Every structure is written in C-alpha cells, then in structure tokens.
Structure 1
Amino acid sequence: MIPVTELRGAIPIGIAMDLNPIGVYIASVVGSTLVSIPLVLTFRHIMQFLKEKGLFLKLLNKIDRKIHSGMKRMKQVSIFGIILFVGIPLPTTGTWTASAIASILKMRIKDAFIGVLIGNMMAGIIMSLLSLHII
C-alpha cells in the first residue's frame, strides 16, 4: 500500500524472505488494490477543495474542458488505460497514481477499482516471475 513501492517492492522482498510466492502475490495484489477506493475518493475531495479555494483554477478548468470534450471516447478506453498503466511494473505507475488519474478523469469507482485490480494482477505476475528468476 505504500506509495512508490506498492506490490513492485513487496513481491521481491517477500520472495527474498522465502515466503510462499502465491501468498505474497495474493497479499500484495489485495493490499495494493484495496487502497484504490479511498484514494480515488480522497483525490476527488482534494480537487473539489482546490476548485473551491481557487487554487490552480486555470489548470483544473483546462483539465475539465479536455475531459468533457472527449468524454465518450475517454469512458471507453479509460479502464483499459488504467489496466495498462498499472499493469506495467515501472516506478510511479501503481495504484496511487492510477487513482489520481481515475479521479481526474471522473471515472466511476467501480471502473477504477476493476482497472486497478486487473492491472495489479498483471504487475504482480510480472514481478513474481522476475523475482523467481523465471523471466
């Protein structure tokens, strides 16, 4: 659940500690995914607070205009985008950043959660295989 490392750090550490790789995978995916719901809600409140206080108003309005102009297309590809974004295990492409993106795109919580879950499952498999020296 910790930003930056998330399951990308938990899986190699757990496997290096000789823990059960399947248990490490499941715990890492569940732990990293569950935090996405409160994060999306928190980021939404932060954006609303910034708008009310007039902070970064030009930037927030520009983002809102972009989102509203391509809303239909964005709704269709946003889940897949979140899946790919989280599923590629690189630094800063985890649950925290994906939750911020989902809140900026005004995704439904369910869609954001599904995207993060599937992405975390993919990243977890990749990290597990790398940690076990299979790939």
Structure 2
Amino acid sequence: MEYLKIMFLSMLPVTELRGAIPIGIAMDLNPIGVYIVSVLGSTLISIPLILTFRHILQYLRTKKKFQTLVGKIDKKIKSGIRRLKNVSVLGIILFVGVPLPTTGTWTASAIASILRMRIKDALIGVLLGNMLSGVIVSALSLHII
C-alpha cells in the first residue's frame, strides 16, 4: 500500500518523481521498489497529459482571443519541424532527465503536445528521462553523490 502512495505522489505535478523518491526513501521503503513505482507512475501519467494538452491546444485554436498566440506557435513549429522532429525525443529525455524544477513529466508532456510529437516517441522520451532522473534523485537521496 505504501508503494501505491509513492506511485500516486510521482503522478502529481507538485511532487512528481523528484519528490516521490526522497519521500519513499524517508519512509524506509526499499529504494529499488521506490524507484520502479516512481518511474512507472510518472511515466504513465504522461499519456493522458499529452492527450489532454492536445485537446486544450485544439480548443484554444477555436477561440479568437488565443488564435494569434497559437498561430505564432504553430508557425514557429512548422518552420523548424524537420529539425525539431530529429531532436525532439532526445530533447525530452534530457529535459526530463535533468532533475531541475519545472523540468518534469507534466511540462515535457505539454512540450510534446506543442511539438505534435507522436505519443510513442513522447512516451519513450519521458520514460528514459524519468529513468535517468530517478537514478540521479535516488543517488542523491541515498547520499551516494
């Protein structure tokens, strides 16, 4: 039951994986189990987030107030779409993998939606980024580094 709580914490935008792992280790849970459920929870939440952000962007495209802003974003993306497609997965991995504030799954899902990444590519990027970030946060929480 405690691992389920840690998984839920890793899905929340405030704690995400970066907060769930130290909390789980502080609760004296098995660090490997904490790592696994945190990565799993933080990655699984990205699928509904990407789909939700896509719908929000689509909704904003229909509203006059936001058409200018969304139009500028779309124009910028279309101009560099080939370049962005090639580096987008690696960018998501690095963005999520470096454990800094606001660089987690929620923000990466929004970025993936804006870049119109395929869900599969975005999910791979988020998963690998979460795995990298989880290793770093676990090592810091266990005072290894």
Task: Compute the TM-score of the two structures, normalised by the length of structure 1.
Answer: 0.98
SS at match of 1:55: helix
The answer for the alignment partner of 2:12 in structure 1 is: 2
Q: After superposition, where does 1:39-58 map in structure 2 within 5 Å? A: 39-58=49-68
- Give the structure 2 partner of residue 131 of structure 1: 141
Matched, 1:34 2:44: yes
- Give the number of equivalent residue pairs: 135
Inter-partner Cα distance in structure 2 for 1:33 and 1:3 = 12
- Aligned partners of 1:4 and 1:92 also within 8 Å: no
Alpha carbon RMSD of aligned pairs, Å? Answer: 0.7
Task: Please give the alpha-carbon distance, in whole angstroms, between the structure 2 residues aligned to 1:57 and 1:17.
Answer: 48
Runs of 4+ in 1 over 2 A off after TM superposition: none
Distance in 1 between the 2:64 and 2:57 partners?
10
SS at match of 1:103: helix
2:4 aligns to what? none
Task: Tell me what 2:85 maps to.
Answer: 75
TM-score, normalised on structure 2? 0.91
Report the equivalent of 1:24: 34
Displacement of 1:52 in angstroms is 1.0
2:103 maps to 93
Residues 1:64 and 2:74 aligned together: yes
Structure 2: where are the runs of 5+ without partners?
1-10
- Looking at structure 2, the residues matched to 110 and 54 of structure 1 have their Cα atoms a distance apart, in angstroms, of 32
- Aligned residue identity for 1:19: L
Q: Identity, % of aligned pairs?
A: 76
The one of the two structures with greater contact order (alpha-carbon pairs below 8 A, sep at least 6) is: 1
